[in-house]
Amino acid sequence: MAGTVRHLARPMWQAAGRLSTPLLPDDFLAVVDPLWSARWPAGRVEAVRAETADATTLMVRAGRGWSGYRAAGQYVPLGLGIDGVLHWRTYSITTPPDGSGRFAITVRAVPGGRVSSYLAHRVRPGKILRLGPGQGEFILPDPPPARLLFLTGGIGITPVAAMLRALTRRSGRRPDTVLVHSAPDADRVVFGGELRDMAARKGWLRLYEHHTRGEGRLDLARLDALCPDWRVRESWACGPEGLLAFAERAWRDADVRDQLHLERFRPPPVAASGGGSGGRVCFTRSGVEAEARPATSLLDIGEAAGVVMPSGCRMGICHSCVSPLSAGRVRDLRTGEVHGEPGDLIQTCVSAACGPVHIDL
Ligand code: FES
């Protein structure tokens, strides 16, 4: 049926456009089936599969307006309606691109996280999600380097799972690949069964699980023992901030920092020094005021206070959260820079209050 609509004769389509102004025919199609809309790309959840107690995979079929993604390891902005409010988040795509318009994401419920909990525990097949274009540079090059190391922790396995699945689909010689994955225990390893099976069957992949409950945090001595030649491998790291900070330090100290690719799900924290003081935040249009700590984003402050905040990636990439600053100064949580003049558009997801702040929201 979608194919029929796509091939409507052009004059007929233009006539429909004139008759329906100011709404476009596309807007009516979106009401009939959101997957037909080209203006508002959307996808439908086709299947839901539990991975661990708190992580769930959603198989999504994208509609005709979605531009897709180009490489394993990229992420997708995803809009989810909950109680009439559209919330945007980004999630790594866990399947390599295959041109089918279908892809998977795997979501772990974050304690207190409304969107992640909804996706991990409450979404059922048939749910419609808004989609942004696949994006990101944390990707597997084609062809891949000869020796790879993936260093992942917790849900940070998701973009790397897409890369490993892409490698299994390649024909010919695969790269010599090491995966060092850190999780609290064996039961909490997302895709644990698949990864172990892959390592057992594929001669090119070695898997080392590091369980923090028994062994503590991963350190350099452990990495040296698990993968002695890590300094000469092209490496990708994704996971909690502690793991990424460890990786950055170790690769920099070994003078091979340019061989390390990092993916953060949150902007790196900066010290609360450099003029950061927090302060009282006034959301002027909502008539809401809240006290902000120096290292908490204005986006988090607003949401906690009940303000409807525009948002997307929550890490300073997509600019969905930009909002006008009416008064005060803010600190960029990524760089520590203090800035802001009345009328400036600020990214609330990576900005903290630096004294009293007024935002036009
Ligand atoms: S939510 Fe994406 S830049 Fe702020």
Question: Are 157 and 243 found together in one domain?
Answer: yes
Q: How high is the mean pLDDT of the chain?
A: 87
- Asked if 237 and 247 count as a contact pair (C-beta separation under 8 A), the reply is yes
CATH number at residue 164: 3.40.50.80
Tell me, what's the pLDDT at 313? 75
Task: Report residue 207's pLDDT band, with 50, 70 and 90 as the boundaries.
Answer: very high
Q: Separation of 78 CA from ligand 1 center, angstroms?
A: 12
273 lies in some domain? no
Single out the residue in 207, 229, 263 at which a domain terminates: 263
Question: Are 258 and 283 found together in one domain?
Answer: no
Task: Report residue 316's pLDDT band, with 50, 70 and 90 as the boundaries.
Answer: confident
Concatenate the DSSP letters of all residues of 107-136 into one string.
EEPPTT-HHHHIIIII--TT-EEEEPPPB-
Question: Are 151 and 226 found together in one domain?
Answer: yes
Concatenate the DSSP letters of all residues of 170-213 into one string.
--SPPPEEEEEEEESSGGG-TTHHHHHHHHHH-TTEEEEEEEHH
137 lies in some domain? no
Question: Are 102 and 196 found together in one domain?
Answer: no
Question: Are 201 and 229 found together in one domain?
Answer: yes
- Asked if 238 and 263 count as a contact pair (C-beta separation under 8 A), the reply is yes
Single out the residue in 233, 263, 293 at which a domain terminates: 263
Count of beta carbons in the 10 Å neighbourhood of residue 358 = 17
Share of the chain above pLDDT 90, in %: 61
As a whole number, mean pLDDT of residues 196-221 equals 93
22 lies in some domain? no
Q: Is 313 in the pocket of ligand 1 (CB under 6 A)?
A: yes
Q: Separation of 275 CA from ligand 1 center, angstroms?
A: 23
Q: Separation of 314 CA from ligand 1 center, angstroms?
A: 4
Question: Are 86 and 151 found together in one domain?
Answer: no
The identity of residue 97, as a single letter, is P
Tell me, what's the pLDDT at 181? 97
Q: Is 77 in the pocket of ligand 1 (CB under 6 A)?
A: no
Question: Are 258 and 152 found together in one domain?
Answer: yes
221 lies in some domain? yes
92 lies in some domain? yes
As a whole number, mean pLDDT of residues 273-288 equals 80
User: What are the pLDDT digits (tens) for 108-167?
Assistant: 998 888 889 999 999 999 999 999 889 889 999 989 999 999 999 999 999 999 999 999
Residue 53, domain extent: 41-131
Q: Separation of 25 CA from ligand 1 center, angstroms?
A: 30
Ligand 1 pocket test: pick from 115, 264, 332, 349 the residue with the most ligand atoms within 8 Å of its Cβ.
Answer: 349
CATH number at residue 118: 2.40.30.10
Q: Separation of 18 CA from ligand 1 center, angstroms?
A: 36
Question: Are 293 and 318 found together in one domain?
Answer: yes
As a whole number, mean pLDDT of residues 49-58 equals 97
Tell me, what's the pLDDT at 6? 39
Q: Separation of 133 CA from ligand 1 center, angstroms?
A: 14
Q: 115 — phi, psi (to 5°)?
A: -70, -50
- Asked if 353 and 301 count as a contact pair (C-beta separation under 8 A), the reply is yes
Structural domain total, the chain: 3
Both tokens of 193, joined, read 């069964």
Question: Are 154 and 258 found together in one domain?
Answer: yes
Q: How far apart are the first and last CA of the chain?
A: 42
Q: Is 312 in the pocket of ligand 1 (CB under 6 A)?
A: yes
Question: Are 201 and 112 found together in one domain?
Answer: no
CATH number at residue 303: 3.10.20.30
**Taking 80 as the threshold, does the pLDDT of residue 245 lie above it?**
yes
Single out the residue in 263, 294, 315 at which a domain terminates: 263
Q: Is 347 in the pocket of ligand 1 (CB under 6 A)?
A: yes
- Asked if 206 and 120 count as a contact pair (C-beta separation under 8 A), the reply is no
Tell me, what's the pLDDT at 79? 87
Q: Which residues contact 238 (CB under 8 A, 6 or more apart)?
A: 92, 138, 151, 152, 153, 156, 157, 158, 159, 160, 244, 262, 263, 264, 265
Tell me, what's the pLDDT at 151? 97
Question: Are 151 and 107 found together in one domain?
Answer: no
9 lies in some domain? no
Q: Is 316 in the pocket of ligand 1 (CB under 6 A)?
A: yes
Q: Separation of 300 CA from ligand 1 center, angstroms?
A: 12
Q: Is 298 in the pocket of ligand 1 (CB under 6 A)?
A: no
As a whole number, mean pLDDT of residues 281-306 equals 91
Q: Is 338 in the pocket of ligand 1 (CB under 6 A)?
A: no
32 lies in some domain? no
Comparing C-alpha atoms, which of 275, 302, 298 is closest to residue 287? 302
Concatenate the DSSP letters of all residues of 293-330 into one string.
-TTS-HHHHHHHTT-----SSSSSSS-TTEEEEEES-E
184 lies in some domain? yes
Question: Are 107 and 192 found together in one domain?
Answer: no
Which contacts of 78-81 are long-range, i.e. CB under 8 A and separated by 24 or more positions? 78/105, 78/129, 78/130, 78/131, 78/132, 79/129, 79/130, 79/131, 79/132, 80/115, 80/118, 80/119, 80/129, 80/130, 81/128
